[in-house]
Structure 1
Amino acid sequence: MVDAPSAFSLPQRFIHWGMVLLIGFNLLFADGMSRWGHLVRRGETPTADQVASANIHAYVGIAILGLAALRLMLRLVQGAPEEPPGEPPLLKLASKVSHVAFYALFFAMPLSGIAAYYFGAQAVGSIHSGPLKMLMWVLIGIHVAAALLHQFYWRTDVMKRMTTG
């Protein structure tokens, strides 16, 4: 790992915001995949539109997986900024834990989705669309709340490091 930079690199920022859009899309528009799975479990044949909708969800998930791998490699090579000075130790720990959880989900969600969609692992699909999805929503809420807290209460440069650098 390199010395900590003062901000995230331009590629890190592009990947971050690209993943925000892709993850948001798949979280908000998962109905096509859910409908496809429901029909398949009942032994019914999905329509071409239902298959296309499920495929879009799957392809977006695969793109997220690829970006997650690239993001992790960039983080290992380029590093990440240190926590703001004066941040309480408990919040530093919470930040580290939540980022590790995010990276775990960046891989677990697409891989479990692949297992369910392409290999028929229904139990894994239930975990994918249940607890993992809920954990992703919770982490996103905490992440946004923490960024806003840093920006407007503590007035740190945390948000600037991931926007303008």
Structure 2
Amino acid sequence: MATTPSLSFSLPQRVLHWLTAGLVFFNLLFPDGMNAWNRSMKQTGAASAEQVASANIHAYAGIAILVLVAVRLLLRQVQGVPAAPSGEPPMFKLVAKVSEWTLYLLLIAMPVTGAAAYYFGMEGAGDLHADVLKAVLWVVVGLHVLGALAHQFYWKTNVLWRMTVG
């Protein structure tokens, strides 16, 4: 049961948000270790110790993202979240809600499909992970960042403040 929404996110919610963001950007920007492992496995059926270690770093970051998102969703249920700014147009409130839950869904689907490919050899899951979900995640993350910046500099709301300094 969520409590009454506060004016800002709690410190644990903010820390989890930024840890998740850091790991997401790490895995989006530096997938080379997993890519090298994948190429080697497809070409030769084996990978070097260095390739396995690099792929493991990518996989462990994905698992950490999944755990952090689960904790974030639990905290969201327990602590609630701040209400949307009152001056925000209804259409933008809807877009924010849809993109927020799309982002959560992607942050669950990405590690699950990645793990299915890496640990269980499900090639279709790997293709979905690397070719489709990754592109959608880039778009949704971009919209998320643009939305936060629009709130800060166009509407001059406290949305960005609530997730940074509280």
Does the TM-score normalized on the shorter chain lie above 0.5?
Answer: yes
For 1:97, the aligned partner's letter is V
Q: Secondary structure at the match of 1:42?
A: helix
Unmatched runs of 5 consecutive residues or more in structure 2: none
Structure 1 position 44, deviation (Å): 3.6
Taking every aligned residue pair, what percent have the same amino acid on both sides? 53
Structure 1 position 54, deviation (Å): 0.3
Structure 1 position 65, deviation (Å): 0.6
For 2:33, the aligned partner's letter is G
Task: Give the superposed CA RMSD.
Answer: 0.8
Deviations 1:104-149 (A, max 9, x none): 0111000111100000000010000011101111011111111111
For 1:103, the aligned partner's letter is Y
For 1:143, the aligned partner's letter is H
Deviations 1:70-115 (A, max 9, x none): 0000011111111101211110000000011011011100011110
Deviations 1:41-82 (A, max 9, x none): 223421111110000000110111110100000011111111
Find the counterpart in structure 2 of residue 17 from structure 1: 18
Find the counterpart in structure 2 of residue 91 from structure 1: 92
Find the counterpart in structure 2 of residue 54 from structure 1: 55
Find the counterpart in structure 1 of residue 31 from structure 2: 30
CA distance in 2, matches of 1:134, 1:14: 26
CA distance in 2, matches of 1:20, 1:103: 12
Taking structure 1 as the reference length, the TM-score comes to: 0.97
Q: Secondary structure at the match of 1:153?
A: helix
Structure 1 position 2, deviation (Å): 1.8
CA distance in 2, matches of 1:153, 1:91: 13
Unmatched runs of 5 consecutive residues or more in structure 1: none
Moved more, 37-46 or 145-154: 37-46
CA distance in 2, matches of 1:136, 1:57: 16
CA distance in 1, matches of 2:64, 2:145: 23
Taking structure 2 as the reference length, the TM-score comes to: 0.97
Structure 1 position 23, deviation (Å): 0.5
Matched, 1:113 2:107: no
